[in-house]
Amino acid sequence: MEVGIRARRNLRNESLRGQIEAFAPKRYVKERDVLFQKFHALRIERPMLVRILAAWRLTRPREYWNERKKVENHWKKIEHSPVVRRFPSLADITFFEPQEFYCPHEIKRKDCLQIGEAIERTNEIAESLQRNERKLQNWRDREQSAKDKGKADLAKRLRDGVTSVESQIRELGVLKEKQYRILAKKGIESVDGVQYCKSTLKMPLPPGVTPPGRGRPRERGQYLVGAVGDLLMDAGLSQRKAAETITDILVFCFDSSVSTDSLVRQWQKRRRNNSS
């Protein structure tokens, strides 16, 4: 029974390590392995891995939080404007989650959805053009047949139909060129084989996917000091050694450089604030 439990724990830990490896810098693979072995020896491997993943999810991507801060600042200006009597709450905005900001194609998800919409529209126009061109050929054949049979009135009505279809084709051609220009601005010269987030094009996100709030979560260093500092000390490390371990986590997992002294100062300040 104990062997089975240990095997399941090892599988869960391997899964957590795999998730960290997906974003951590590749050049520090060996250093991370040593770091994770250290956690294992201290008997805190799983909670440490969970907290490292939490630090990643809370603070990435930076571009997302910068853009969100702009939106929140605009909202604040509206709220305090002397001409505004009442305005919608920030809670009425539906934000993408940080992990949704980039799509699987590694571009901003909203851009990808807009590209997908433009490609779908281009394909729809192209299909309409083909249908209209077949229809035009059919009407021309019927017009010629009516002329051959001396049916002048019928030939005239068919000529009017031909003119109408030709006008539709010209309009569709203009729309198609416009769509190609839109896509060209996105760096797409051909719609053939372009991948985009088609599966979510017509599916609005459910309301309230992100709780209302302002500002970016704390930086990773600050988060890790609070989330893992005491855990490391409870495992037997001194404050200095714990801070050095947090420095290693930031470098080997996040490629972020921060001095151990800076972390120690943050830690001491946090403890003073908590005790006051």
pLDDT digits (tens, 9 = 90+) for 171-181: 999 998 988 88
Domain extent, residue 257, equals: 2-54+217-275
Q: Give the pLDDT score at 204.
A: 47
Whether residue 96 is contained in a domain is answered as no
DSSP string over 16-65: HHHHHHHHS-GGGHHHHHHHHHHHHHTT-HHHHHHHHHHHHHHH--HHHH
- 177 and 252 part of one domain: no
pTM of the model: 0.49
Q: Give the pLDDT score at 218.
A: 52
Write the pLDDT tens digit of every residue in 169-225: 899 999 989 888 888 887 787 777 777 776 444 444 444 444 445 555 556 777 788
Phi, psi (5° rounding) for residue 108? -60, 130
d(Cα 89, Cα 121) in Å, to the nearest integer?
Answer: 34
Average pLDDT, the chain: 81
> What domain count does the chain have?
2
What is the H or E stretch that residue 222 is in? helix 220-234
Q: Give the pLDDT score at 276.
A: 58
Whether residue 153 is contained in a domain is answered as yes
- Residue 198 is classified by DSSP as G
d(Cα 99, Cα 119) in Å, to the nearest integer?
Answer: 25
Q: Give the pLDDT score at 212.
A: 44
Q: Which residues contact 257 (CB under 8 A, 6 or more apart)?
A: 250, 251
d(Cα 5, Cα 107) in Å, to the nearest integer?
Answer: 41
Q: Choose one of 175, 200, 225: the last residue of a domain.
A: 200
Helices 2-23 and 45-59: angle between axes, nearest 10 degrees = 30
- 182 and 114 part of one domain: yes
Whether residue 31 is contained in a domain is answered as yes
Supply the Cα-derived Rg of the chain in whole angstroms.
31
